[in-house]
Amino acid sequence: MPCLDTDILIGLLKGDKDAVDAIRRLQHEGASLKTTAMNAYELFKGAQVSSRQKENLGSVKEILSRIPVLLLSLEPCEEASRIYEELRREGHTIGDFDVLIASISIVNGESLVTRDRHFQFIRELDVQTW
């Protein structure tokens, strides 16, 4: 089942044809779309600092009301620490939120739908590029 990263959700909010087509394709395949609490935070943060705050906050709330949001708990935290150590040992650094997004996806058996290339360094993560 696919977990949507922030980039595809922003694309959907902006009406980006590639994002819309990718989500339609996933839905047509019967996929149950999800995202993570970290992705929700990133969307809310972007809306808060935007020039159209009220409109964008409404759009974020609308999209997040339609898909389940996977939460951060102890198991993904432990997985994130393991991922962080592995990446550090290999000389790769990615942001903490992205490590947490990856760990939540892995623990919940989800693939991550994204265009962010740094997720490729996490071997256990099934990445679907949109």
In this prediction, residue 1 has a pLDDT band, given cuts at 50, 70 and 90, of confident
The CATH T-level fold of domain 2-129 is Rossmann fold (3.40.50)
**In this predicted structure, what is the pLDDT of residue 123?**
94
Determine the average pLDDT of the residues in 21-42.
97
Strand pairing report for 69-70 and 35-36: parallel
CB 18 within 8 A of CB 128: no
